[in-house]
């Protein structure tokens, strides 16, 4: 009697999944094989893809080997010129123009290793894209398709005639025929679409697949004429108090002020909770900080309640928190829906390290809010331009910087760098600092601040790039409106465009997260 056959030795496992960094070498090698006369992806392109829109980067793994892949981004297609190029639609291959609130999935590449063709790999990738469009409730999928056999017929047929012959199945084209068979319809023909596509003579067919499951969120598509966001930045006075309740009264007062102006965000300064040390007897800076961390839960509860009660998103300054024996300088985002996020200060100043023994965080976070994506970079962190660029590449439109500086030179370092980040990243930046003094608190002697709200420098913004600013060194607030729609348009059509004009071919930022 024969034994049961072990079928496992015959199994071949095919997986469709998101592209991971470990796949980059295989994908680049596969691209060189699939498109031998065209420039392949660079590592920085693929890294940018998975950082910005990981769901849109899909591969097929067969028996442990990547044998096919496709890349895409989301856009509002109506915002692009009819005769756009591949470089324009992809921001030169880096997809930093990806718009998570867009209506269309745009496919920028698909390929299958020649050794695995006729296994329906391409069809599986197209179905994965369609499923993604359904899951994200996107209106359609658009692709700029090559016509790689056109060079064989260009002497006898115009591009339009060639496309008509292919769609009528009189001529076979490996790309266009496949797209037609997968339910894509022709919109138009673009010239000069891809510079190194000599086989197609630089022509491309613009194809579209409409998602019949698409449900518009509004009865008629609308474009925003403006998207105003109101910000109140607190210039907070550090003065002696007698209890946590005194601290809570001050914080609620300023939150109420911000709410009375119908603000979307209210911003408190860095480590303003050190005011609590003014009623504690501990004099040693390192020991006093550990006493301060005992107020963490009360602090979080206070600001969570204020955010909900006054219907405003609160950047709760920053507070020293003890985690696993280490002290961190943490800024909290208290959303008005009651949810909480946090950003660790990454770069620690020599003074923080020497007197308080503060440890640094290691991640640049970008947070979703009801007013778009924002980032928080605490004081010294704004002086490192890499962090601002990483945050904006992750989608941030506003960078909030709670700060605490003791003299004018220190303040100006923070201010000049904040304004530089606004210009070089085409982003709004906000400063909130402390004034006053705490004579009884060691290492917290004098304060210098001029809080403000800053914009890029161009015709559509405030004349000097200053939306609003406080008078220096007095307890007050500044209230200002920033417009995210104007910012979006500026990133597309400003006098200069620092984001799009970056030379990815000669430099890049590697963010190890």
Range 469-493 average pLDDT = 94
- For residue 122, the model assigns a pLDDT of 92
Domain membership flag for residue 275:
yes
Residue 20 pLDDT greater than 50, yes or no: yes
CB 294 within 8 A of CB 262: no
Claim to verify: residue 155 and residue 265 sit in the same structural domain? no
HSE on the CB side for 62, CA within 13 Å? 13
CB 101 within 8 A of CB 397: no
398-415 tens-digit pLDDT: 999 999 999 999 999 999
Claim to verify: residue 184 and residue 274 sit in the same structural domain? no
Claim to verify: residue 71 and residue 151 sit in the same structural domain? yes
Please tell me whether residue 457 adopts helix, strand or coil conformation. Answer: coil
Range 148-174 average pLDDT = 93
Residue 6 pLDDT greater than 70, yes or no: no
Q: Distance between CA atoms of 391 and 146, rounded to whole angstroms?
A: 34
CB 108 within 8 A of CB 96: no
Q: Distance between CA atoms of 396 and 377, rounded to whole angstroms?
A: 12
- For residue 502, the model assigns a pLDDT of 87
The residue segments making up the domain with residue 58 are 12-210
pTM exceeds 0.85, yes or no: no
Tell the residue number behind the tokens 């006054």, with chain if given: 310
Mean pLDDT lowest among 121-125, 301-305, 498-502: 498-502
Range 478-502 average pLDDT = 91
Q: Which residues of 73-94 are buried (b: 16+ CB within 10 A; e: fewer)?
A: bbbebeebeeebbbeebbbbbb
Domain membership flag for residue 224:
no
Mean pLDDT lowest among 12-16, 108-112, 166-170, 464-468: 12-16
Claim to verify: residue 142 and residue 252 sit in the same structural domain? no
306-339 tens-digit pLDDT: 999 999 999 999 999 999 999 999 999 999 999 9
Domain membership flag for residue 216:
no
Claim to verify: residue 262 and residue 197 sit in the same structural domain? no
All residues at 6 or more sequence positions from 407 whose CB lies less than 8 Å from its CB, including other chains? 446, 448
Domain membership flag for residue 364:
yes
Q: Which residues of 15-31 are buried (b: 16+ CB within 10 A; e: fewer)?
A: eeeebeeebbebbeebb
Please tell me whether residue 137 adopts helix, strand or coil conformation. Answer: coil
Residue 220 pLDDT greater than 50, yes or no: no
Catalytic residues, which ones? Answer: 270, 345, 379
CB 464 within 8 A of CB 422: no
Domain membership flag for residue 338:
yes
Domain membership flag for residue 220:
no
Residue 445 pLDDT greater than 80, yes or no: no
Going edge to edge, which strands form the sheet with 204-210? 14-18, 58-62, 65-75, 104-112, 140-146, 204-210, 185-190
- Mean pLDDT over all residues of the chain? 92
Claim to verify: residue 184 and residue 289 sit in the same structural domain? no
Q: How confident is the model at residue 221 (pLDDT cuts 50, 70, 90)?
A: very low
- For residue 444, the model assigns a pLDDT of 75
Q: Distance between CA atoms of 467 and 469, rounded to whole angstroms?
A: 7
Residue 218 pLDDT greater than 90, yes or no: no
Please tell me whether residue 38 adopts helix, strand or coil conformation. Answer: coil
Range 490-509 average pLDDT = 87
Nearest to 211 by CA among 100, 156, 135, 289: 135
Claim to verify: residue 240 and residue 194 sit in the same structural domain? no
Range 112-117 average pLDDT = 92
Q: What is the CATH number of the domain that holds 357?
A: 3.60.110.10
Claim to verify: residue 279 and residue 386 sit in the same structural domain? yes
Q: How does DSSP assign 295-356, residue by residue?
A: GHHHHHHHHHHHHHHHT-EEE---EEEEETTEEEEEEEEE-TTS-EEEEE--SPPHHIIIII
Q: How far is CA 325 from the centre of its chain?
A: 32
**219: which 2 tokens?**
């009865």
Range 349-375 average pLDDT = 94
Residue 282 pLDDT greater than 90, yes or no: no
**448: which 2 tokens?**
């210098």
Q: Distance between CA atoms of 329 and 341, rounded to whole angstroms?
A: 14
Claim to verify: residue 317 and residue 405 sit in the same structural domain? yes
12 versus 138: the higher-pLDDT residue is 138
Claim to verify: residue 333 and residue 441 sit in the same structural domain? yes
* CB atoms closer than 10 angstroms to residue 474: 12
Q: Distance between CA atoms of 261 and 263, rounded to whole angstroms?
A: 5
* CB atoms closer than 10 angstroms to residue 495: 10
Claim to verify: residue 292 and residue 437 sit in the same structural domain? yes
All residues at 6 or more sequence positions from 100 whose CB lies less than 8 Å from its CB, including other chains? 53, 74, 395
Could you tell me the sign of the dihedral formed by the alpha carbons of 184, 190, 194, 197, in that order? positive
- For residue 510, the model assigns a pLDDT of 82
Expressed in angstroms, the distance from the first to the final Cα of the chain is 57
The packing angle between helices 385-393 and 43-52, to 10°, is 70
Range 364-384 average pLDDT = 96
Range 179-205 average pLDDT = 91
Domain membership flag for residue 1:
no
Q: How many domains does the chain have?
A: 2
**171: which 2 tokens?**
């001529």
Domain membership flag for residue 6:
no
Q: What is the CATH number of the domain that holds 64?
A: 3.40.630.30
Claim to verify: residue 181 and residue 297 sit in the same structural domain? no
């Amino acid at each position: 009697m024969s034994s049961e056959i072990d079928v496992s030795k015959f199994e071949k496992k095919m997986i469709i999944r998101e592209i991971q960094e470990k796949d980059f070498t295989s994908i680049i090698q596969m691209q060189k094989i699939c498109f031998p006369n065209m420039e392949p992806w660079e590592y920085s392109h693929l890294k940018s893809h998975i950082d910005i829109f990981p769901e849109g980067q899909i591969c097929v793994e067969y028996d442990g080997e990547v044998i096919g892949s496709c890349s895409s981004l989301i856009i509002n297609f109506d915002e692009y010129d009819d005769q756009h190029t591949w470089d324009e639609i992809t921001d030169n291959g880096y997809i930093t123009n990806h718009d998570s609130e867009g209506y269309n999935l745009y496919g920028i590449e698909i390929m299958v290793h020649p050794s695995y063709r006729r296994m329906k790999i391409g069809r599986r990738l197209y179905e994965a894209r369609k499923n993604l469009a359904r899951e994200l409730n996107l209106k359609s999928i658009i692709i700029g398709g090559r016509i790689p056999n056109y060079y064989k017929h260009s002497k006898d047929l115009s591009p339009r005639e060639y496309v008509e012959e292919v769609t009528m199945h009189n001529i076979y084209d490996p790309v266009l025929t496949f797209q037609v068979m997968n339910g894509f319809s022709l919109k138009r023909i673009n010239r000069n679409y891809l510079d190194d596509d000599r086989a197609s003579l630089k022509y491309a067919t613009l194809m579209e697949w409409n998602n019949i499951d698409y449900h518009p969120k509004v009865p008629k598509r609308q474009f925003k004429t403006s998207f105003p966001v109101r910000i109140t930045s607190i210039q907070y006075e550090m003065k002696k108090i007698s209890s946590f309740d005194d601290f809570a009264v001050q914080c609620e007062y300023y939150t109420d002020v911000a709410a009375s102006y119908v603000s979307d965000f209210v911003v408190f300064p860095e480590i303003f909770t050190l005011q609590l040390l003014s009623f504690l007897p501990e004099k040693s800076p390192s020991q006093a900080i550990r006493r301060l961390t005992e107020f963490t839960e009360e602090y979080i509860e206070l600001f969570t309640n204020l955010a909900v009660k006054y219907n405003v998103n609160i950047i709760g300054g920053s507070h020293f928190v003890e985690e696993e024996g280490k002290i961190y300088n943490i800024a909290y985002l208290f959303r008005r829906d009651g949810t909480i996020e946090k950003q660790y200060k990454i770069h620690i100043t020599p003074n923080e390290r020497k007197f308080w023994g503060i440890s640094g965080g290691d991640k640049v976070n970008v947070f979703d809010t009801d007013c778009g994506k924002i980032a928080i970079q605490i004081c010294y962190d704004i002086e490192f331009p890499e962090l601002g660029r990483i945050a904006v590449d992750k989608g941030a439109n506003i960078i909030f910087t709670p700060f605490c500086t003791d003299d004018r030179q220190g303040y100006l370092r923070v201010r000049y760098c904040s304004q530089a980040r606004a210009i070089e990243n085409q982003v709004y930046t906000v400063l909130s600092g402390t004034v006053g003094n705490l004579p009884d608190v060691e290492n917290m002697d004098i304060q210098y601040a001029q809080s403000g709200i800053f914009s890029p420098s161009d015709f559509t913004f405030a004349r000097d790039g200053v939306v609003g600013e406080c008078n220096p060194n007095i307890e007050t607030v500044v209230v200002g409106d920033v417009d995210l729609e104007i910012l979006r348009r500026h990133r597309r059509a400003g006098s200069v465009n620092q984001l799009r004009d970056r030379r990815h071919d000669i430099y890049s930022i590697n963010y190890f997260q």
